[in-house]
Amino acid sequence: MPVEITASGLRLDVAKAISYGSNCRFKYYNRNYPGGGSYYDTGSLVQSGTDLWTTGLFFPVGQSQNPYHYAEGEVDRGDAHLFVLGTVNVSGLWKAGIGSPPRKEYSLIENGVQEQRIADQVVYYRLALRVLPTGSLIGEFG
């Protein structure tokens, strides 16, 4: 008897797999331009709302994965991929801390969001992340 795969069943399976991952903290930011700012003003970043804690499957890129991306200069050996549920807000400006408490903080690599959709709903995101050596985003305040 063939097994029927449904969108809702697949969503549940992905959610279960991701639940076995690492604790992740998402901090969201707004950019503040005191005095109106100008084209050359980087402004400062102020946290927006509260931290979002979730789980995610975290995979360091390492030297053996995605050799094409190395050749194109898109990723470094210290970069990582994080898989999170499609319910996580990955738009706007944010950083992700991995672990509880977070051991390292990561920012999103440009064009680093890939989504997997089923039945017009995002099931999960694959995020390409780069470690923040100081743990802070440029302009982060407080």
Residue 25 binned pLDDT confidence (cut-offs 50, 70, 90) = very high
Domain membership of residue 55 (yes or no) is yes
Domain membership of residue 138 (yes or no) is no
Domain membership of residue 1 (yes or no) is no
Question: Which CATH number characterizes residue 118's domain?
Answer: 2.40.10
Residue 34, phi then psi, degrees to nearest 5 = -65, 140
pLDDT tens digits, one per residue of 35-50: 666 666 667 888 898 9
Which tokens in the block code for residue 76? 């470094």
pLDDT tens digits, one per residue of 88-120: 999 999 999 999 999 999 999 988 899 999 888
Domain that holds residue 122: 7-34+41-131
**Number of domains into which the chain is organized:** 1
Domain membership of residue 95 (yes or no) is yes
Domain membership of residue 142 (yes or no) is no
Domain membership of residue 140 (yes or no) is no
Which pLDDT does position 87 carry in this prediction?
Answer: 94
Domain membership of residue 139 (yes or no) is no
Domain membership of residue 23 (yes or no) is yes
DSSP state of 46: E
Taking alpha carbons only, the member of 31, 32, 29, 33 closest to residue 50 is 29
Kindly tell me the sign of the dihedral angle through the C-alpha atoms of 114, 132, 96, 29.
negative
State how far the alpha carbon of 106 is from the alpha carbons of 12, 16, 71, 81, 93, in Å: 27, 24, 22, 10, 12
